[in-house]
Amino acid sequence: MKLRVKELLNGLNGWQRLFAGFLIFIYLPITFVIVSDAGRFQIPNGQELTKIMPDQVLNSLHTKESILQQMSDGIDWDLATEKDYKLYRVGDPDRSWEYALYVSNKIEPAKAKAMADDFSRAMKSYAFRSILIERLATFIYFLVGAICIYAFGLTLAWIYRGFKRGANG
């Protein structure tokens, strides 16, 4: 195995070696930094949120049987202490998103818990899809960039051979 890799590397011409060195020492580290930053989950705006929200939660929001707030420093904690609502924290701290779902005590606890679980599953699914799409797009940009760099190197080699042929004869 080691012998085949060594033979393969020794068989590369100068342009291929330059391309491999550029990819390994410059392009890959920069791309990996970009990919690591691309995995941040963007919290959906109001319109996207209503598209992914389960119908049961959406209906209860419209009928004022529940209240949804994004967790932040400015959250209205008075709602959590009111006797008419029970607080359900819905989120994924690893992805840095969290919501407070206040469900009216008029709704039975099992149904309220199911609403919170459904909302949590919908948000996690949305987060997974959006991160996957970002990572795939980043990989495609990397692949296209690598192909363009390689094609540029081949073009330079072709031009160099043309000048070399013209000088010789």
pLDDT of amino acid 5: 74
Residue 110 confidence (pLDDT) above 80: yes
Residue 77 confidence (pLDDT) above 60: no
pLDDT of amino acid 49: 80
| From 34-38, 140-144, 146-150, the region with the lowest mean pLDDT | 34-38
Query: What average pLDDT does the structure give for the chain?
Result: 76
Q: Which of 150, 144, 155, 40 is nearest to 95 (CA)?
A: 40
- Kindly indicate the confidence band of residue 94, based on its pLDDT and cuts at 50, 70 and 90: low
The number of beta carbons lying within 10 Å of the beta carbon of residue 47 is 7
Distance CA 130, CA 81 (A): 34
**Could you tell me the pTM of the whole model?**
0.61
